[in-house]
Amino acid sequence: MEIPEQLRPAVAFLRGNLSGLLRFDTEYMPIRVVIAPDGRLVASVMESMLRSTDCALHLPEEPDDRDDEVIQLMVTLDRFEESGPDGTLADRWRIYHGDPPDVRWATMSIDFCKFRDLAIDGEAMMTANPIAEEEPAICRGFNESDGDDLRRLVLQRVEVELEDPKIVGVDSLGFDVRGRFEIARIDFEDLVDSSDAARAAIESLLKGPA
């Protein structure tokens, strides 16, 4: 599904900020999420979070400056079992973040989003990844290299030096690179809608200016 141009900044910001705070009832807890192929969020959660009927997600957790942007999401949590049909979502979370803080898992459906001066329907924020089926193969292909070009690209784009960088996720707006301690997001110049276009965009970024 094509992402409407007016929503791309919000969706891109969400995909680039996977650590934040979850408010459930009157409690606040740090939380890390990943994006499922269908656009829902996935997280390792506490039982009390699952029981709450009033949950809001704030990403990122602590902006570096009061003028920095934050996205606020009203979310509904749905439990899933790691041994069940959605178990691959727990695997996806581990690929990004390592060992989970809890044994319970949930998907988060977005009910409402506030970003900048926009109030956005949650359904519009849950955009399916058109290259989800080819995503693992794309990641494997680029991760066969020694990672020097990837490390250089991340340093240039987001001013973060990652140790042992690996591409762990690719979607129509960009790709995620995991280091030993953090995740970096690299945005594409243009929207991509196929695995071939995604590969070409990543290759172009890794190659750098002609």
Give the count of domains, the chain: 2
119 and 20 inside one domain: yes
Structure confidence at residue 156 (pLDDT): 95
Domain range for 139 = 132-207
- Tell me what pLDDT residue 61 has: 79
Which helix H or strand E contains 71, and what residues bound it? strand 71-80
Q: Are 143 and 201 within one domain?
A: yes
| Alpha-carbon dihedral 60, 75, 26, 14, rounded to 10 degrees | 0
Task: Quote the pLDDT of residue 85.
Answer: 94
62 and 138 fall within a common domain: no
Task: Tell me which of 57, 91, 125 is where a domain ends.
Answer: 125
Alpha-carbon distances of 147 from 72, 94, 141, 152, 178, rounded to whole Å? 34, 21, 12, 9, 11
**What's the pLDDT score for residue 115?**
96
> 67 with 158, same domain?
no
Q: What is the pLDDT of residue 63?
A: 58
Q: What is the pTM of this model?
A: 0.93
**137 and 118 inside one domain:** no
What CATH code is carried by the domain that includes residue 164? 3.20.180.10
120/143 same-domain check: no
Q: What pLDDT does residue 66 have?
A: 58
> Are 193 and 95 in a shared domain?
no
Using 50 as the pLDDT threshold, list the residues of the chain that sit under it.
none
Q: Are residues 16 and 86 in the same domain?
A: yes
Q: Are residues 47 and 142 in the same domain?
A: no
3-state secondary structure of 115: strand
